[in-house]
Amino acid sequence: MDSEIELDDLLRDLTGEITHLYRWLAESAGINHTDLMCLFFVRSTEGATPKALAQHVGLTSGATAILLNRLEKAGFIIRSPHPTDRRAVLLSLGPEVERSGLLQLRERFIGMNRTVFASFSEDELTIVRRFMGALLLNSRNSLRQLRTEDHASRSEAKQH
């Protein structure tokens, strides 16, 4: 149990520090943290749609529309018609993402952590990747389940 508590404390502290770092980087580009998470999602998701983005960042469709309007106006996002569904929209990164240097964030993080990465063997890094991948998958699934339960309980409360 002590090991689980220690790991939980380390993960909480690490995610907190990474969040602070991402917030600083987002602010230096003139956007907020949620905007940055939106851009990361669009960059890494083939066929990103507003609905998928809303589910990923946990926003309502209205809040997502406001977010996308702001990012599109600033040149960070481009909305294009879906090639096979005339009602759908696809999201892609706009020219301002490259101009702002946001695409170089990965290289900056790797550079900041290069000595840490190099201090572990490939076998150790394989275990770290498996551990982090399992935590990521579990966190995503847990959050999805929590949101589903919360939505169901709110819907039930409205009916009574």
> How much is the pLDDT for 151?
79
CB 74 within 8 Å of CB 31: yes
Instruction: Give the chain's end-to-end CA distance (angstroms, integer).
Output: 41
pTM of the model: 0.76
> How much is the pLDDT for 11?
93
For residue 28, give both structure tokens.
Answer: 């230096």
* Beta carbons within 8 Å of 37's beta carbon, 6+ residues apart: 22, 56, 57
Distance separating alpha carbons of residues 54 and 155, to the nearest angstrom: 19
Report residue 154's pLDDT band, with 50, 70 and 90 as the boundaries: confident
